[in-house]
Structure 1
Amino acid sequence: MSVLVVGLSHRTAPVALLEQVSVSGDALVKLLHDVQQDARVAEAMVVSTCNRVEVYVVVDRFHAAVNAISELLAVHSGVAMERLIGHLYVHYEDRAVEHLFSVGSGLDSMVLGEGQILGQIRSALKLAQEQGTVGSTLNELVQQTLRVGKRSHTETGIDRAGASLVGVGLTLAERTLGPIQGRRALVVGAGSMSALSAATLQRSGVTDIVIVNRTHERAVRLAQTVGGRAARFDDLAAELAEADLVISCTGATDVVVTADMVPARQMFVLDLALPHDVDPAVRRLPGVTLVDLESMQDGDIDAETDDGGRAEAVVAVREIVAQEVAAYLSAERAARVTPTVVALRSKAADVVEAELGRLASRVPSLDGRVRDEVAQTVRRVVDKLLHEPTVRVKQLAESPAGDHYAEALRELFNLDPKVPDAVRRVESVETETSKKEVGR
């Protein structure tokens, strides 16, 4: 079984197409289950953000799985396969691991090094766990991705080389409005991106912050964290009339801010939602500047935040990703040989027990102490004989051609590494050993 990712992002598709393919809420849950129910898929997880929609699966057949997932994305989005296929990318096995590590490190984001993607990956895993669509492979891969992302941000300047979308948006806002301190800011929405927006506004010195959300209680809670004020959703038009700077990011499927709600005067509007929260017609209003994900995609927003260390940070993060990919693949290959080692030790244990039973039946008068000593001696001899080959095969399994060594071991000893009893027996022993070590 191997990891496969099929998806599209701001690098391969226009924002308009990403809007159509993007899924959230019940639609996301349905896509997740539809993918996982495919006979070729053992595990599934979907990462859907304003910049990407990616389906991660564990499969045993590559081509059939790619076709099935592509078709599901087309069906769920309503986009014809002929139009969608040219914007999809596919990564398999080591390339899939490298891609996810790069995404988690901020190398593949619209704004270089933005850290919000780690939270989005974590949320994708949590949803998949709640829905029961992931197992050990994707769970361990994502946990490792989160660790690699944190390491990349801690050890390099990647988070300083690029700012968040909100930070870039505020940089653009100051070009229109001048200093934003003393301006009134309106945040529409109360989700994670809205919370980031409100916090960024507060850190930038904006003290007059208003939060509007359909669920008023959530608006109140967010407003309290930034020393702002909450307003009811029905008052959105009135709040827009007083705002200088508007940031909107809700989970709505329809336009939230219409052109007739926005006054024709100097105002900066940042639409970070996918699909759009703000009617594109707002851009035609005199004095109003509307920046959305599409206009950000068209511009060189990395250049807006380049502090001179961008190239060095990228090189450093790529080196970390390469190291972590190699370590992950090495450990993963070593883990593949475990069932073979389990089967070998189980078979040896069965042989020992059978021979000791035969000895007891042939020499029933054998003294109990002597019988126990013989049993311990035989087990020690077998353990010592198996120790070197099992340790060596685990070491060799970490190499790219490691599977061949496990295959040779299975052939030589006529082993079936999938025998459930053997696996359960060794897992039980390993669990007890781990408990003893923790208790020391």
Structure 2
Amino acid sequence: MSLLVVGLSHRSAPVALLERVTVSGDALEKLLHDVRQSDHVSEALVVSTCNRVEIFADVDRFHAGVTAMSDLLSAHSGIPQDELGRHLYVHYEDRAVQHLFNVTCGLDSMVVGEGQILGQVRSALRLAQNQGTAGTSLNELFQHALRVGKRAHADTDIDRAGASLVGVGLTLAEQVIGPVAGKRALVVGAGSMSALSAATLSRAGAGEIVIANRTHARAVRLAETVGGRAVELADLPAELAKADLVISCVGAGTRVITAETVADAMRDREDGGLFLLDLALPHDVDPAVRVIPKVTLVDLESMQQAGLGAGAGDGGHAEAIGAVKAIVAEEVTAYLESERAAKVTPTVIALRSKAAGVVEAEIGRLMSRLPGLDTRMRDEVTQTVRRVVDKLLHEPTVRVKQLAAAPGGDHYAEALRELFDLDPKAPAAVSGVDVTAAEGTQDEGTEDTEAGR
């Protein structure tokens, strides 16, 4: 099986198209299961954020996998394949691993270096685990990717290379309404992006932070973390009339804030204007609000058009970005070497198992011919024969693992299988065998034998 990625992001598609493709909730779960149930797919995971929709799958056929995943994205979004296909990208095997590591480190984000993607990738993995679509391969890959992302943020200054989308949005807001400190802020939604928004507003010194959400209890919990106030979503019109800054992060597929509601809120206002930051996909705010006097709307699409796409936040931080790229290159090499070495393990176990079988058969035959041997002599003969076989197999099995870690190293495992007539897929060859014993143990006069991965 091999790793395949098919998807689209802010780098390959306009936000308007991403808005139509993005999936969440029940639709995301259905897409996950549809991919998993496709022919030639053994595992599936979907990363769906405001910046990207990507399907990761373990497949046994490249072209069939690409076709199936592209067709499913088209079917779920309702976008014809000839339109959607122009914006899709495909990564396979080594490049797929590198792409994932770039994503988790924030190198592929709309704002380079933002850390929120780590939580989004973790959520995608958790969903695939809960839905039973991620098996050993994707679990291990994504756990490794999350470690790489954490290392990048811990060991470099990539966090300074670009603020989160919230931070960038607030910078744009201050250009219109002045410093956030002391301003009245309204956050619509209570999910992870809303929590990040509320925390960012609190650090910026917002005078009042109001949380509006369909589930009032969640709004209350979030408001308590920032010393804010929670309201029902039905109270949104009244709160809009009092707010200076609104950040909306619901993404429910319907317009949470309509042009009519904003127009009514602005009708009786005598103070300054209203800045709306829409960080949701699909959009929460009706774009028609832009024609309302004293109202400014910034959404993901306008951020992209303003140059906050690929490479945004790079200026002055080339050193940090270069350091993260070096980490990614190192971790990709380590992961691929580990995977290649792991693939030879069943062959090594099969060889050790076959050798153990030969030893036991020959010891049994010898003992039947020498029935007079006492227990001590039997044990000594048995240990001597096993030690000889271990020493003979030690060097080739350790060496084949080292060679297998290099590109094309699977040929060495194939050679072992041919030379010794091994079948590592046979249950008798790989199950019921103590792996440590099968891979060799340190014995008197032998070197430490390399264990599995």
State the TM-score bracket (shorter-chain normalisation). Answer: over 0.9
CA contact (8 A) 1:168 1:304 kept: no
Structure 1 residues 51 and 304: alpha-carbon distance in aligned structure 2, compared to 1, 3 A threshold: closer
Give the equivalent residue in structure 2 for 1:437.
none
Secondary structure of 1:133's partner? Answer: coil
Kindly indicate whether residue 435 of structure 2 is the aligned counterpart of residue 414 of structure 1: no
Give the equivalent residue in structure 1 for 2:336.
329
TM-score norm. by structure 2 comes to: 0.93
Q: Could you tell me which amino acid in structure 2 is paired with residue 283 of structure 1?
A: R
Secondary structure of 1:416's partner? Answer: coil
Q: Could you tell me which amino acid in structure 2 is paired with residue 167 of structure 1?
A: G
Alignment of 1:13-52 (within 5 A): 13-52=13-52
Deviation of 1:299 after TM superposition, in Å, equals 1.1
Deviations along 1:275-327, one digit per CA (max 9) or x if unpaired, are 01001111111010000000011112379985853222221111111111111
Kindly indicate whether residue 287 of structure 2 is the aligned counterpart of residue 280 of structure 1: yes
CA contact (8 A) 1:6 1:88 kept: yes
**2-side partners of 1:65 and 1:370: how far apart?**
60
Q: Could you tell me which amino acid in structure 2 is paired with residue 183 of structure 1?
A: K
CA contact (8 A) 2:114 2:164 kept: yes
Unaligned runs of 5+ in 2: 267-271, 442-453
**2-side partners of 1:304 and 1:145: how far apart?**
21
Structure 1 residues 312 and 396: alpha-carbon distance in aligned structure 2, compared to 1, 3 A threshold: same
**2-side partners of 1:227 and 1:167: how far apart?**
20
**1-side partners of 2:57 and 2:309: how far apart?**
31
Kindly indicate whether residue 169 of structure 2 is the aligned counterpart of residue 192 of structure 1: no
Alignment of 1:347-386 (within 5 A): 347-386=354-393
TM-score norm. by structure 1 comes to: 0.95
Give the equivalent residue in structure 2 for 1:144.
144
Give the equivalent residue in structure 2 for 1:438.
none
Give the equivalent residue in structure 1 for 2:321.
314
CA contact (8 A) 2:359 2:386 kept: yes
Structure 1 residues 10 and 121: alpha-carbon distance in aligned structure 2, compared to 1, 3 A threshold: same
State the Cα RMSD in Å: 1.9
Deviation of 1:366 after TM superposition, in Å, equals 2.1
**2-side partners of 1:197 and 1:71: how far apart?**
35
Secondary structure of 2:220's partner? Answer: helix
**2-side partners of 1:60 and 1:306: how far apart?**
39
Q: Could you tell me which amino acid in structure 2 is paired with residue 56 of structure 1?
A: F
**2-side partners of 1:357 and 1:90: how far apart?**
57
CA contact (8 A) 2:394 2:440 kept: no
Give the equivalent residue in structure 2 for 1:124.
124
Give the equivalent residue in structure 1 for 2:444.
none
CA contact (8 A) 1:163 1:305 kept: no
**1-side partners of 2:393 and 2:13: how far apart?**
55
Deviation of 1:207 after TM superposition, in Å, equals 3.2
Give the equivalent residue in structure 2 for 1:227.
227
The alignment of Structure 1 onto Structure 2 pairs a total of residues equal to 434
Structure 1 residues 353 and 431: alpha-carbon distance in aligned structure 2, compared to 1, 3 A threshold: closer
CA contact (8 A) 2:153 2:159 kept: yes
Secondary structure of 2:432's partner? Answer: helix
**2-side partners of 1:115 and 1:379: how far apart?**
54
**2-side partners of 1:95 and 1:363: how far apart?**
61
Give the equivalent residue in structure 2 for 1:402.
409
Kindly indicate whether residue 262 of structure 2 is the aligned counterpart of residue 255 of structure 1: no
Alignment of 1:13-162 (within 5 A): 13-162=13-162
Give the equivalent residue in structure 2 for 1:299.
306
Secondary structure of 2:318's partner? Answer: helix
Deviations along 1:381-415, one digit per CA (max 9) or x if unpaired, are 11111000000000111111211111111111111
Structure 1 residues 279 and 427: alpha-carbon distance in aligned structure 2, compared to 1, 3 A threshold: farther
Deviation of 1:361 after TM superposition, in Å, equals 2.1
Deviations along 1:232-274, one digit per CA (max 9) or x if unpaired, are 1111111111100000001411100011111336110000000
Structure 1 residues 302 and 35: alpha-carbon distance in aligned structure 2, compared to 1, 3 A threshold: closer
**1-side partners of 2:340 and 2:26: how far apart?**
37
Secondary structure of 1:337's partner? Answer: helix
CA contact (8 A) 1:207 1:228 kept: no
Deviation of 1:11 after TM superposition, in Å, equals 0.5
Q: Could you tell me which amino acid in structure 2 is paired with residue 10 of structure 1?
A: H
Deviation of 1:152 after TM superposition, in Å, equals 1.2
**2-side partners of 1:193 and 1:142: how far apart?**
22
Bigger Cα displacement from structure 2, 368-377 vs 261-270: 261-270
Deviations along 1:188-239, one digit per CA (max 9) or x if unpaired, are 0000000000000001111300000000000000000000000111111111
Q: Could you tell me which amino acid in structure 2 is paired with residue 408 of structure 1?
A: A
CA contact (8 A) 2:111 2:313 kept: no
Deviation of 1:93 after TM superposition, in Å, equals 0.4
Give the equivalent residue in structure 1 for 2:181.
181
Structure 1 residues 41 and 299: alpha-carbon distance in aligned structure 2, compared to 1, 3 A threshold: same
Q: 2:349 aligns with which of 339, 342, 364?
A: 342
CA contact (8 A) 1:162 1:302 kept: no
Structure 1 residues 324 and 202: alpha-carbon distance in aligned structure 2, compared to 1, 3 A threshold: same
Deviation of 1:7 after TM superposition, in Å, equals 0.2
**2-side partners of 1:177 and 1:190: how far apart?**
24
Bigger Cα displacement from structure 2, 153-162 vs 183-192: 153-162
Structure 1 residues 311 and 384: alpha-carbon distance in aligned structure 2, compared to 1, 3 A threshold: same
Bigger Cα displacement from structure 2, 262-271 vs 193-202: 262-271
Bigger Cα displacement from structure 2, 163-172 vs 142-151: 142-151
Deviations along 1:34-65, one digit per CA (max 9) or x if unpaired, are 00011200111000000000000011110011
**2-side partners of 1:17 and 1:267: how far apart?**
27
Kindly indicate whether residue 425 of structure 2 is the aligned counterpart of residue 387 of structure 1: no
CA contact (8 A) 2:104 2:149 kept: yes
